[in-house]
Amino acid sequence: MKSILKPLALTLLLSLSAAAQLQLRGTWSAEANTKHPEKLQLNLYRSARMQTGNSIPIADLRGLDPQSIHAANTNVTFQLVRDAGSVQFTGTFDRDLGHGEFNFTANPEYLAAMKQMGYVDAEKKAFELTMIDVSRAYAAEIRDLGYQPSLDKLIEARIFNVNREQINGLKALGITELPLQKLVEFRIFDVNPDYIREMRASFPNLSIDKMVEMRIHKATPEFAKEMAGLGYSNLSAEKLVEFRVHGVTPEFIREVGELGFKNLDADQLVQFRIFGVNAEQIKELAKEGYTNLSAEKLVEFRIHHVDAAFIEKVKRAGYQHPSPDQLVEFKILGIRVHEADL
């Protein structure tokens, strides 16, 4: 699975030169977070190629009075101080919107310590390390947990909050020695101890990878219960995922039931979804005189594109009501001239 480096809460679009990021200057904008009033959406710009956006707790912004964010035309000065460096902000807020200038300064003690830990390229990412808050303590914690990641992988782990608490929680369930990338994956898809316990209770002996897949596609125990209530009990994990992938929902099952297909098996439901068997097709065929077609024949018609337009073409060739099998044969082999026209 490809790594997803940027969550919604933290969007980083960085294209930086190889030069050290010891000091940087740029502009900032901000907007009050209506869903989380204790946070501020803060965006920093240095050029068209370098932007960072982060929802930051207002309490982390030293010197910023929360009331000034909502005031009219209020000058502000505040700081974001992290282990990797500090950012000084000056500017103005006007009724939940702010803008101004920022100046970043890296922490030389931090950079020296990171270099001793083997991160010789930390200077080149000092600003990013500051905004994501990759502290010396965090880097040491990851190493103490048995991982020796590159700086980029360390940053990724910090973005998704891979930490000792997560690892201990998994260890309590007998899940150990996971690679760092798998822990990141667990964070991305919220595969946590509670979820694992729930899945193990409903699906004994399910592999961790399958749990992740089911989480991605929302093939939950609740979904399995819905299917059981509609007559599809004891579906395998693979089939539940297949249902989710192809959109076999309770609503779809009721829809095909109303069309006269109340006892389709799980594979037939998936085929209906894959090939687009639906009420429109059935009504269209009924107008041409083809009713009570089997599920298999409807799928076959979809596979070979036997539709109302083709049936009309066959009729114009002299066949007033060919059988369903003849229609498929004509589509595959071509329409022969009707014997009556010879």
Give average pLDDT by consecutive 10-residue segment, the chain, 342 residues.
41 46 92 93 82 90 97 97 98 97 97 96 95 97 97 97 97 95 97 96 93 96 94 94 97 92 94 94 94 95 96 92 95 75 40
pLDDT number for residue 7: 42
State how far the alpha carbon of 208 is from the alpha carbons of 1, 81, 202, 239, 326, in Å: 14, 39, 14, 17, 49
DSSP letter for 263, please: S
Q: Which residues contact 298 (CB under 8 A, 6 or more apart)?
A: 272, 277, 281, 282, 285
Q: Please name the amino acid found at residue 84.
A: A
Write down the pTM of the prediction: 0.81
**HSE on the CB side for 291, CA within 13 Å?**
6
Interatomic CA distance for residues 209 and 43, integer angstroms:
36
Between strands 85-94 and 74-82, the pairing is antiparallel
Q: Which residues contact 214 (CB under 8 A, 6 or more apart)?
A: 199, 206, 220, 237, 240, 241
Interatomic CA distance for residues 52 and 128, integer angstroms:
8
The domain ranges of the chain are: 10-133, 189-271, 276-342
DSSP letter for 137, please: H
Interatomic CA distance for residues 38 and 12, integer angstroms:
22
pLDDT number for residue 158: 97
Left (φ > 0), alpha (ψ -120 to 50) or beta: where does 304 sit? alpha
The answer to whether 186 touches 216, Cβ cutoff 8 Å, is no
pLDDT number for residue 336: 73
Interatomic CA distance for residues 3 and 174, integer angstroms:
25
SS3 at position 220: coil
pLDDT number for residue 17: 42
State the angle between helix axes of 193-202 and 164-171 in degrees (0 to 180), rounded to the nearest 10: 20
φ, ψ for residue 271 (rounded to 5)?
-65, -40
